[in-house]
Amino acid sequence: MIRKETRSVKLADHLASQLQELIAVRSLRAGARLPAERVLAVELGVSRPSLREAIQKLASQGILESRRGGGTYVKAAPENWAEASIVAPLESLLRSVPEYGYDVLEVRHALESATAWHAAHRATDEDRARIRAAFEAMQAASDDAEMLSRRDAEFHLAIAEASHNAVLIQVMRGLFELLHSSVSQSRQRMYSVPRNFEDLSAQHRTVMDAILAGQADTAREAIHRHLDYVDGTLRKLDEDEARLARSEQARSRLAATSARPPRASAA
């Protein structure tokens, strides 16, 4: 009996993984309905009770939702997943030591090279249309630095979603939420300089064109060059701001010294 239960658990785990892969490969979004149970059972080559057990397992994890008489649907990830898992633990650290924002950029190098590469291989027609629409939305927001910063994040997330890797997508969402909550002002300052917008726009177009053309290696190289530019630009902005702050402090000290009355000379 114990062996039978163990085999059943292992089969349920295996089927649950297969179902998650099916959701990713077919780009099934929150609210999308899975094929009928009998169709899935035939497709996966398993019995309906075994499939039902795997579905229940994913339902308990908040991935699927079974509706009585209405089939099984992909359930939206908890809205606060990224907040609780990524943003909250790091946000206070970034606020106290802003330089850790550059560590986030290093992580983006590793993650986004993967999302761009996979997106070039896996993007569906719907994904490509979404990436193109996100790029065009950036162009339309060129006069609003705050909105442009948001549209930038949406473009990168559209690429992540086209990778069809659930883990990469969730981590990327968390990272961009972290960037928005902690270093959004720096990103907005970066976009407030017209030359920066022109450079970033050209870089984004290069990334997009490579993904749409299915050129994975080119897309990966383009995203690296883009993030190198972002890193260098943000560092320069931070250095300029620090220099101005030091200048203001020196000016204030000088003004305070000049305002002091002269000491009376000894008789």
- Rounded CA-CA distance 250/221 in Å is 44
What is the model's pLDDT at position 264?
58
Residue 40, pLDDT > 50, answer: yes
- Token pair in block for residue 211: 């993904």
Cβ proximity of 118 and 161 under 8 Å: no
Give the domain ranges of the chain.
2-74, 81-243
Residue 219 corresponds to which tokens in the numbers above? 């897309």
Tell me if residue 74 falls in helix, strand or coil. Answer: strand
Place 261 in a pLDDT band, splitting at 50, 70 and 90. Answer: low
Query: Given this model, what pLDDT does residue 6 score?
Result: 42
Residues composing the chain: 267
Q: How far is CA 64 from the centre of its chain?
A: 22
Identity at 11, one-letter amino acid code = L
Query: Which of these, 127, 150, 152, 149, lies nearest to 205 by C-alpha position?
Result: 152
Residue indicated by tokens 């030359």: 195
Q: Given pLDDT bands bounded at 50, 70 and 90, which one contains residue 176?
A: confident
Q: Which of 90-99, 124-133, 139-148 has the lowest mean pLDDT?
A: 90-99
The Cα–Cα gap between 14 and 58 comes to 11
Greatest mean pLDDT among 26-35, 116-125, 186-195, 228-237 lies in 116-125
Q: Say yes or no to pLDDT of 134 above 90.
A: yes
Q: Which CATH class is domain 2-74?
A: mainly alpha
Burial of 183 (0-12, 13-18, 19+ CB in 10 A): buried
pLDDT band at 238 (very low <50, low <70, confident <90, very high): confident
Mean pLDDT, residues 242-250 taken together = 81
Q: Provide the pLDDT confidence category of residue 222 given band limits of 50, 70 and 90.
A: very high
Average pLDDT over residues 9-16: 78
According to CATH, the topology of domain 81-243 is Four Helix Bundle (Hemerythrin (Met), subunit A) (1.20.120)
Rounded-to-integer distance, Cα 10 and Cα 22, Å: 18
pLDDT in tens, 83-104: 566 666 676 666 667 777 788 8
Tell me how far apart the alpha carbons of residues 237 and 196 are, in angstroms, rounded to a whole number.
12
